[in-house]
Amino acid sequence: MRTFVTGGTGFIGTHLVKRLAQTDHDLVCLARPTSDVRVLEEVGASVITGDVTDKDSVIQGMQGCDWVIHLASSFVFWVPDKQVYADVNIKGTRNVMESALETGVSKVAHVSTAAVYGNAEWPIREDTPVGPVRPSEYARTKYTGDLMAWELHKQNGLPLVVIYPGAVVGANDPKAAGRYIKNMARGRMPGQILTDTMFFWVHVRDVCEGILRSLEKEDNIGEKYLLTGENLTWGEINKLISEISGTRLPILRFPDFMTALNALLLTALANLIKRPPLLDMSVDQIGTMKQGYMVDGSKAERELGLTYTPIRVALEEAIASFGEARQPESTRAHAGVR
> Which residue, 17, 13, 100, is CA-closest to 55?
100
* Residue 219: pLDDT band with limits 50, 70, 90: very high
Domain spans, the chain = 2-169+198-229+294-306
> In whole angstroms, what is the distance from residue 102 CA to residue 86 CA?
22
> Which residue, 55, 114, 61, 131, is CA-closest to 87?
55
Which CATH class, in words, describes the domain spanning 2-169+198-229+294-306?
alpha beta
State the Rg of the chain over Cα: 19
Q: How far does Cα 303 stand from its chain's mean position?
A: 22
DSSP 194-218: STT-EEEEEEHHHHHHHHHHHHHSS
Tens of pLDDT, residues 152-164: 999 999 999 999 9
Tens of pLDDT, residues 195-209: 999 999 999 999 999
* Residue 337: pLDDT band with limits 50, 70, 90: very low
Tens of pLDDT, residues 121-148: 999 999 999 999 999 999 999 999 999 9
pLDDT at 323: 72
Phi, psi of 300 (to 5 degrees): -65, -35
Which amino acid is residue 47, in one-letter code?
V
* Residue 330: pLDDT band with limits 50, 70, 90: very low
What's the DSSP call for residue 117? G
Mean local confidence (pLDDT), 206-229: 98
Q: How far does Cα 235 stand from its chain's mean position?
A: 22
Tens of pLDDT, residues 52-74: 999 999 999 999 999 999 999 99
Mean local confidence (pLDDT), 91-100: 99
pLDDT at 329: 34
